[in-house]
Structure 1
Amino acid sequence: MRRPWAGPRLDDEQQAVLDLVDDLTAGPLARVGDDRPDDVDAARRVLADQGLWTLGVAESDGGGGAPAATTLVALARLGGTWPALAWASVQAHAAAPVLAAARRTPALLDGLHDGAPVAVTAADPGSVTLTGGRLTGALDRIDPAGREPRLVLLLDADTAVLVPPEGIAFGPPVARTGLDGALTVGVRLDAAVPEGDVLRGPKARRARTVLDAGAAAIAAGIAEAAAATALDYSAGRVQFGAPLTELPTVRASLAAQAATARALLVTAVTADLDRPDAVAAALLPACDAALDVAAAAVQSHGGYGYMTEYPVEGLLRDAVSLRAAAGAVEAARTAARTLVGADG
C-alpha cells in the first residue's frame, strides 16, 4: 500500500524509489523480529536485488550511484516501516567506500552489494585501541540485521578499520527496546590488522557522515509514520457520535505531529553530506523529535497506543533504540567540540 509523502516535493526518480519501497514493504519486506534471522537475511537480499541496499554508493564502488537526496528518501521511507533494516542499509552505504579503498578481494565488495551483512560503528572513547597493528577492545553493541557481519570500526574522526573476521568474537544477543530484526550483539576484538585495512582521511570521515545522515533520515521516517498512524486512528475512532478529529485538542496535537514530521523530512532529505559537522549536529535533535512525535502518536491512541496490535507502540520503541544505535549523543558532543575548536 502506497502512503502519502509528507516531505519535500520529489522528482520523478525519487517518486519511483518511494513507490518501490512502499510496494516492497507491503509484500516481501514485512517486518520480522530477531527470532526469524533467516527472514532478515532474505529481506536484505530483496533490497539488494531491487537496487536499494547500496542505492547511493558510487558506481565506481559498485553501487547504484543515486544522488544523496534520493537515497535519503528511500531510507526515510523504509525507516517508517522497518527501521532496523533501513539502519543496516545505512551501514552498507558507509562500509562500501571503505571496503573499496582497502583493496580487498572483489568478492568482499561484491558480497556487500549482494546483501551480505555489515556493521559500521564508532568506537566509544577508550573502548578500542590500535597499537603496533593490533586492535583490541570491546564494543557494547552492533546492530547489523545479520549474523556474524563484516565489521568496519570508526576508530576516530579520521580512521576507519576493516576488522579481520578472525579477530572478532561475537557475544550473545543484546536486549533492545525496539529495532526489531537488528540482531544486536556485543563484540570483543583482538585482531592483527594489515596496514592496508586501515583507512585514514576523507573516506573515513565520510563513513561517519553517512551514518549520521542516514540515521536522521530514519528518525524522520519514524516520525512521519507515527504521525500518519495517529491521524488514521483518530479519523476512524468515533466517540460520542463523532470522530476524534472533531475535538480541537486532538486536531492540534495531530497538526503538531505532522508539522514536526515534515520538518524532519525536509531537513533529512536535503542534508549536505559535504558539511559533516552540520550533519552530526542535526542527528540528536532529529532523534529527539522523532521520540516526541512517536510519544504524542501513542497518546493519540489512548490506551490502545500501548498495545502491540497497533504499530505506533513499535515506532516509539524504534525511536528509543535508534537514538542509541546511531550514537546520537556522541555525535552531538563531537559536533560541539568542533564548533568550539576543541581537540578530539
Structure 2
Amino acid sequence: MTSVSTELTDFLAVVSKVVASAADGESALSAMRNSLSETGLLDLARDTADEPDALQWLAYTVRTVAQTDPSLAFVLASRYVADRAIDAEAATEPTFALAVPGSRPVLAGALGPDAVVVLDSTTSSLHVVPWADLAPSVDHEARTGLQRADLVSVTIPDGAAALEGSAAEAAFLWDLLTGAALAGVARRAVSETQSYVLERHQFGVPIGSFAGLRALVADMDLTVAGVETALDRALEDRTSIDNLAATAGRAATSVCIDAIQAHGGYGYIDEYPLTGLLRDAIGIQARTGGRRLHVARVAERGLGPRTGRHQ
C-alpha cells in the first residue's frame, strides 16, 4: 500500500468535512467556490506542481471528494488536468475535455470555466480554446449522472490553438483521476451497504448476518479494494495506468448495482443515494474514452499490436 504523509492525511480530513458540510443536491457547485478556494481545493494542481508526491495529492483528493460528491470530484479532476497542461497566465479557470471519434467532447461547465484544454485522442495532441469561442456551440442536453457538474457538449473550432504540453501526460493524469473518482464512488456504495445491512433487521437479527448478503458485501469490498490497489500501483508505476482505466468503470458500476440489490426495494428510492451513485459512475466512465480503448491498450501491452486481416 502506498504510504501517505501526515500532511496529506490531515488535508484529506479537512476536505471531507468541507465537502460533507456543503453537500446539497439542490445547490449549485458555484455556491461552494469560496470554501473550495479557502481549502485549497481549486488550485491544488498548481500549488503542488513541484512536489514529488503531487500526483498522490491529486488522486487521493479526488477519491475522497467522490465519496461524498461525485459531481464535484469530476469537476476538480477536470480542473487539475487542465491546470497542469496550461500556463496559469493563459487561463485562470480552465477545464478539460477528451475528444474521441464519433462524438462531441463533453465537459464540466460548473464553476464557469474561461478556457477548455482539449485532448484529441485521434491525433494525441493538446489544444486550448477560450470559453467565449465555444459558447455558441454549447449543448445543455441532459446526460446520465453528474448533475451538479453541469455537463455540456461542445464543438471544437477548426484551428484551435495547440498546446506545447505533453498529450501523454494529460492522458495519464485524466485516466488516473477519473479512476480515483470511480474508486471513491464505489467505496461509498460499499460503505452505504455495510451500514444498511447492519442496521436493517429481520427475524430479530441484522440482515448482515445472512450468509448470502455477507458474501455479496464481501465481494463488493474486494472489488473496490482491487481498484484502490490499481490506483496505488499506477501512482508507483505509470505503465500500469491502463489496468486502472480498464477496470475502474466496470468495477464501480458493478458494485453500485450490487449495492442496490443488497438494499432491496429501498435501493431505488431517493432516501438512499445508490441509484444516484450508479448514474454518476456511468457518467464518469463515459467521459474516460470507453473501456474498449483501455482494454485494447492492455492487450497490446501483453500481446503486441494486432496483425493480419483482423487488424
- TM interval, shorter chain, is 0.7 to 0.9
Q: Distance in 1 between matches of 2:117 and 2:296?
A: 20
Match of 1:183 among 127, 150, 162: 150
2:98–2:105 Cα contact (<8 Å) kept: no
SS at match of 2:128: strand
Q: Distance in 2 between matches of 1:78 and 1:95?
A: 18
What residue in structure 2 maps to residue 121 of structure 1?
Answer: 97
Match of 2:20 among 26, 37, 45: 26
More helix by share: 2
Change (3 A) 1:139 1:287: same
Residue by residue over 1:108-156, the C-alpha shift from the partner in whole angstroms, topping out at 9 and shown as x without a partner, is 44x2xxxx3x33122123x6xxxxxxxxxx7252234344552111124
Q: Distance in 1 between matches of 2:96 and 2:272?
A: 32
SS at match of 1:121: strand
Q: Percent identity?
A: 26
Q: Distance in 2 between matches of 1:312 and 1:182?
A: 18
More strand by share: 1
Residue by residue over 1:235-269, the C-alpha shift from the partner in whole angstroms, topping out at 9 and shown as x without a partner, is 00011111111111111111111122222222213
1:98–1:162 Cα contact (<8 Å) kept: no
Q: CA deviation at 1:334?
A: 6.0
Q: Distance in 2 between matches of 1:327 and 1:31?
A: 29
Residue by residue over 1:48-67, the C-alpha shift from the partner in whole angstroms, topping out at 9 and shown as x without a partner, is 32112342446568xx8753
Structure 1: 5+ residue stretches without partners: 1-6, 128-137
Q: CA deviation at 1:287?
A: 0.7
Q: CA deviation at 1:335?
A: 2.1
Residue by residue over 1:261-319, the C-alpha shift from the partner in whole angstroms, topping out at 9 and shown as x without a partner, is 222222213423762x5313421311100111111111111100000110122111111
Equivalent residue letter for 2:197:
S
Q: CA deviation at 1:75?
A: 0.9
SS at match of 1:26: helix
Does residue 269 of the first structure (1) align with residue 232 of the second (2)? yes
2:227–2:244 Cα contact (<8 Å) kept: no
Match of 1:162 among 128, 133, 136: 128
Match of 1:242 among 205, 208, 213: 205
Q: Distance in 2 between matches of 1:188 and 1:42?
A: 28
Match of 2:170 among 167, 184, 207: 207
Does residue 172 of the first structure (1) align with residue 139 of the second (2)? yes
Alignment of 1:79-158 (within 5 A): 79-100=66-87, 106=89, 108-109=90-91, 111=92, 116=93, 118-125=94-101, 139-147=104-112, 149-156=114-121, 158=124
Structure 2: 5+ residue stretches without partners: none
1:306–1:313 Cα contact (<8 Å) kept: yes
Q: Distance in 2 between matches of 1:295 and 1:47?
A: 31
Q: CA deviation at 1:227?
A: 0.3
2:78–2:108 Cα contact (<8 Å) kept: no
2:70–2:280 Cα contact (<8 Å) kept: yes
1:287–1:328 Cα contact (<8 Å) kept: no
Q: CA deviation at 1:329?
A: 2.5
Q: Distance in 2 between matches of 1:14 and 1:225?
A: 20
Change (3 A) 1:334 1:211: farther
2:234–2:244 Cα contact (<8 Å) kept: no
Change (3 A) 1:55 1:65: farther
Residue by residue over 1:187-242, the C-alpha shift from the partner in whole angstroms, topping out at 9 and shown as x without a partner, is 1233544xxx41246x2221111110001111111111000000101100011111
Per the normalisation by structure 1, the TM-score is 0.78
Change (3 A) 1:24 1:335: same
SS at match of 2:21: coil
SS at match of 2:154: strand
Change (3 A) 1:11 1:189: closer
Per the normalisation by structure 2, the TM-score is 0.86
Q: Distance in 1 between matches of 2:107 and 2:34?
A: 20
Change (3 A) 1:149 1:291: farther
1:166–1:191 Cα contact (<8 Å) kept: no
What residue in structure 1 maps to residue 264 of structure 2?
Answer: 302
1:44–1:85 Cα contact (<8 Å) kept: no
Does residue 47 of the first structure (1) align with residue 50 of the second (2)? no
Aligned length: 303
